[in-house]
Structure formats: structure tokens, C-alpha cells
Structure 1
Amino acid sequence: MVVTKELADELPVEAVEEAKARAATLLLAFRHGNQLAFDHELDRLFEEQVEREVTTLLVWIAAEAVRKAYAPEAGDRVLRALARRAPSDTSGVAVDEETADAAWLVDAVGAGDVAGVRAMVASTADTTYLLGGLLQAVAMMLPLLPEGEAEEITAELRHRHGGRTGRAPGIPEARQS
């Protein structure tokens, strides 16, 4: 038996189960084209103002379906294609390499532009390229750090992550100069 601990702002288990049932009702009505049942359930959700919880569960269900139906890279391609199909006036989500501007993000962080960073992250659902660009930026900046700074940073990171030492699996040991 698994024992779980509820967080302060977490939904109680009963509420999660109820939201899952409501999400399943919506999905079944949508899948089978029962517009009356779909509209009825949607109206109930709007009246009770539980749209966020049910939307979260619907997204979780969809993510699980994509994860089980496709290999990770194929699932990402399917989702990117779906996101690109949205009308241009309603789609502000960056999903490809051309729109993930890691240089702008580094500049915004350096300038302390918290609102700008939040806006970019919020508009970038597919962070693959953005994180890749940031990783490349960090790799380019590391040699510019004063002697010993990189070691202090990695020691702090190791301390935060339980004191793990060594290197990630599959990563060769760094060359000593």
C-alpha cells in the first residue's frame, strides 16, 4: 500500500478522483460526438468554477496518451504539429528552434528583466531548443570564469542535490590540464 502525503494547496484525493471522473465524462462525450452531454458537463464546470483542475487532468490524460502511443521524439513532433495548426491570432506559443532565443534570455537575465524572462518562458511551451541554447551559452561562458569559480559552483550544486559526486552516466571524465 502506498502512503501519500497531501501538500497544503493540493487537492484532496477525493477531489482528484471526482475531477478525473469529470474529465473522463468530457472526453467520452467529445469522442462520441455527444454535444448535449459535453455542453451539460462543461456548463456544470463553469458554474462550479473547477475549470483549472479539470483542464489540468485533461492535459495529463492527453500527455499520457501521447506518451503511450508514440516514442518521445515522435510524440513531440505530433504535439508541435498540433500547436502550429492553431490560428495565428490565438497561438502565441513558440514551438521551434527559430523562436527559442536563448541569447535574448541570457541578456534579460543579466539585465534583471524578471517580467521579460517570465513572458518568454510562458510563451515557450517547447523548451527543448531554449534549454539547449542556454546549455550552449553556459558551456561557452565556463572558460571565462575566474580560476576556482566553476568548482565552487559545482560544489554548491552537489550540496543542493544531496552531495552526489562523480559524473553523469555516459559522460567522459574531464581532461586535466
Structure 2
Amino acid sequence: MVVTRELADELPTEEVEAAKARAATLLLAFRHGNQLAFDTELDLLLAENAEREVTTLLVWVAAEAVRKAYAPDVADRVLRGLARRAPYGTAEVAVDEEAAGAALLLEAVAAGDVTAVRALVAGTPDTTYLLGGLVQAVAMMLPLLPEGEADEIAAELRRRHAGRLPTPRCTT
């Protein structure tokens, strides 16, 4: 049995269902070019200040559609392409490998600059390359650790994730 609890700022289930219906109305009107229905529903939402909830649901619907329509690597390429094709000045989303600042992230962490870390993460919607660069940096640092330190870190990670990690194989 799965137990869920409502967070303080979370919408009640009834409101989520109502918001889903409103998001579906917006999507149908947009898809079929019914500008009048789209504008009417959008005006109602703006008057009720429900923009955040409906935007979240629209993004969820879009993510589900992309997930069902494309293989994961293809879906990422499609979304990156959409971001790149946005008119200049409206999006300017950095989604390529060169824009992922793993070195900047490491420097900000080393300097204890929480604001810079948050800005880098928030400014990188496509974290694939950022996290990949971070993993590469950690791998490059491992040989610099004192003897036995990597084994202690691995043991601590195994303790934290007991039962979820495979046991190491003996290589002797």
C-alpha cells in the first residue's frame, strides 16, 4: 500500500483534477486552433491567478507526450531542438555540452558560493552534461585521495543504500 500525504502548499486532489481538466481544455483549444476558446479559458485562469498550477500540469502533459512518443535519447534531442529554435531573446536556453559549466560548478562549490551553485543549476535546464561533467571530475579526483579513502566512501555509500546496491564481486 502506498501512503501519500499532502504538502502544505500542495493542491488538494479535487483541485488537481479540476486543473487537469482546465489544462486539457487549453490543449484542445490550442491543438484545434480555437483561438476564442483558448483566449476565454486563459483569461479565466489569469483572473484566478492559477497560472502556476496550470503551467505545471501543461508541462506534465507535454513531458508525458514526449515520453510516450520518443525513445529517451531522441526525446532529449527533440526538446533541445525546440529550445534552440525559440526566437532570440525569448528563451536563450543553454542546452548543449559547451554551455554546461561543470568546472564553474566545481569552483563555486569549492568557494562555498551557494548563490553561484544555485544560479548554475537553475540556469541549466538540461543537466545531462552538467552532471556528466561532475561525474567525470569526481572520477579524475579519485586517484588523488589518500590510500583507503575511496574504500571508506564506497562503504559509507553502501551503508546508506543498504539493500539497493549490488554487492562487490571478488576479483581474486
TM-score (norm 1): 0.88
The Cα shift of 1:101 comes to 1.7
- Distance in 2, matches of 1:88 and 1:144, equals 44
**Structure 2 CA distance for aligned equivalents of residues 150 and 173 of structure 1:** 17
| Distance (whole Å) between structure 2 residues aligned to residue 47 and residue 162 of structure 1 | 50
**How many angstroms apart in 1 are the aligned matches of 2:84 and 2:21?**
30
CA deviation map 1:43-79 (0-9, x unaligned): 1111111111110000000000001111111111110
Consecutive aligned runs of 4 or more in structure 1 exceeding 6 Å deviation: none
Indicate if the aligned counterparts of 1:92 and 1:123 stay in contact, CA closer than 8 A.
Answer: no
Provide the alpha-carbon RMSD of the alignment.
2.1
- The residue correspondences of 1:103-114 to structure 2 (distance < 5 A) are 103-114=103-114
1:164 CA displacement: 4.0
Amino acid at match of 2:76: D
Residue segments in structure 1 that go unaligned for 5+ positions in a row: none
Q: Is the aligned partner of 1:5 residue 2:28?
A: no
The verdict on how the C-alpha distance between 1:130 and 1:30 changes in structure 2, with shifts beyond 3 A counting, is: same
Query: What is the rounded CA distance, in whole Å, between the counterparts of 1:155 and 1:92 in structure 2?
Result: 43
Task: Check 1:120–1:7 CA distance in 2 against 1; reply closer, same or farther (3 A cut).
Answer: same
TM-score, normalization by structure 2: 0.90
Kindly, what percent of the aligned residue pairs are identical? Answer: 76
Cα distance in 1 for residues equivalent to 2:46 and 2:35: 16
Instruction: Tell me how far 1:37 sits from its aligned partner.
Output: 0.9
Matched, 1:75 2:75: yes
Q: Which residue of 2 aligns with 1:95?
A: 95
> In structure 2, what is the Cα distance between the partners aligned to 1:93 and 1:74?
18
Q: Is the 8 A contact 2:86 2:92 kept in 1?
A: no
